[in-house]
């Protein structure tokens, strides 16, 4: 049976644990392509270009926007973030499960372009207080940035109903198991299978 790839798209507040969940899923499923986003924000300590993000200038990013080279892009907290269309298509052609970690704005753009391929998941913390506590404990952002992330999280949560699945990352192991089930289900969606070819062969 001819199988295309599928897309599992994660959104949710910064600090909800999306990156940690994806890291665990990659250990369980080998045929995964994690889409590395492009950004204009400054590189943080320990981050590597091409691994954590593709770090580019604002001018380069805006040039790529004009040339329609992004599946989705958004401006968040004064910086651009985007997902390469070419890398995504290449991975889907060879049957990989492409995992995105993008914000609500990006999700809405991607859904409009290739919604039939996307299995979407919104991940969040049990409460706003818990989210703020995690961001402070993470120690990577200033208090001003944390406050911006908290305010942004309030707006993002309003879009949660537009997603296929909703995970509250309270118990990490349970959240991981839920996400793993969702990823496995994405592989048998009709959009992930060449049904026209299957039907033709089945009728012969």
Tens digits of per-residue pLDDT, 49-76? 888 888 999 999 999 999 988 888 888 8
What is d(CA 151, CA 126) in angstroms, rounded to the nearest whole number?
16
In this predicted structure, the answer to whether residue 134 has a pLDDT above a threshold of 80 is: yes
In this predicted structure, the answer to whether residue 152 has a pLDDT above a threshold of 50 is: yes
Residue 16 confidence (pLDDT): 92
Instruction: Answer yes or no: is 161 within a domain.
Output: yes
Residue 121 confidence (pLDDT): 97
Instruction: Answer yes or no: is 49 within a domain.
Output: no
> Helices 18-28 and 172-186: crossing angle, nearest 10°?
60
Residue 193 confidence (pLDDT): 65
Residue 58 confidence (pLDDT): 95
Q: Give the residue with greater pLDDT, 173 vs 133.
A: 173
60 SS3 class: helix
Q: How many domains does the chain divide into? A: 1
What is d(CA 101, CA 65) in angstroms, rounded to the nearest whole number?
19
Instruction: Answer yes or no: is 70 within a domain.
Output: no
What percent of the chain stands above pLDDT 70? 94
What is d(CA 180, CA 28) in angstroms, rounded to the nearest whole number?
8
Instruction: Answer yes or no: is 167 within a domain.
Output: yes
What is d(CA 161, CA 165) in angstroms, rounded to the nearest whole number?
8
Residue 16 backbone dihedrals phi, psi, to 5 degrees:
-80, -10
72 SS3 class: strand
pLDDT interval class at 1 (50, 70, 90): very low
Tens digits of per-residue pLDDT, 39-49? 999 988 889 88
| Domain limits for position 105 | 6-35+96-203
Instruction: Answer yes or no: is 56 within a domain.
Output: no
* CATH number, residue 140: 3.40.50.300
Instruction: Answer yes or no: is 69 within a domain.
Output: no
Instruction: Answer yes or no: is 109 within a domain.
Output: yes
| Residue-averaged pLDDT of the chain | 87
Taking residues 101-130, report their average pLDDT: 89
What is d(CA 5, CA 89) in angstroms, rounded to the nearest whole number?
9
Instruction: Answer yes or no: is 114 within a domain.
Output: yes
Which residues on adjacent β-strands are paired with residue 158?
none
* 190, two tokens: 């009709």
What is d(CA 190, CA 95) in angstroms, rounded to the nearest whole number?
14
Which residues on adjacent β-strands are paired with residue 76?
79
Beta strands in 61-159, from DSSP E residues, in sequence order: 70-76, 79-84, 97-101, 118-124
């Amino acid at each position: 049976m001819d199988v295309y790839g599928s897309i599992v798209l994660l959104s949710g507040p910064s600090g909800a644990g999306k990156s940690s969940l994806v890291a665990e899923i990659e250990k369980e499923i080998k045929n995964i392509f994690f889409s590395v986003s492009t950004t204009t924000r400054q590189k943080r300590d320990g981050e590597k270009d091409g691994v954590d993000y593709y770090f580019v200038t604002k001018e380069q990013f805006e040039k790529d926007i004009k040339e329609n080279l992004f599946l989705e892009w958004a401006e968040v907290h004064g910086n651009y973030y985007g997902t390469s269309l070419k890398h995504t298509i290449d991975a889907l052609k060879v049957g990989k499960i492409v995992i995105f970690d993008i914000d609500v704005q990006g999700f809405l753009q991607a859904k409009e372009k290739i919604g039939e391929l996307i299995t979407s998941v919104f991940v969040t913390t049990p409460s706003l207080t818990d989210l703020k506590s995690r961001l402070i404990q993470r120690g990577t952002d200033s208090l001003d940035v944390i406050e911006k992330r908290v305010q942004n999280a309030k707006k993002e949560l309003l879009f949660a109903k537009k997603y296929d699945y909703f995970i509250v990352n309270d118990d990490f192991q349970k959240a991981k198991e839920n996400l793993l089930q969702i990823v496995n289900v994405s592989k048998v969606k009709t959009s992930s299978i060449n049904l026209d070819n299957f039907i033709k062969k089945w009728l012969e």
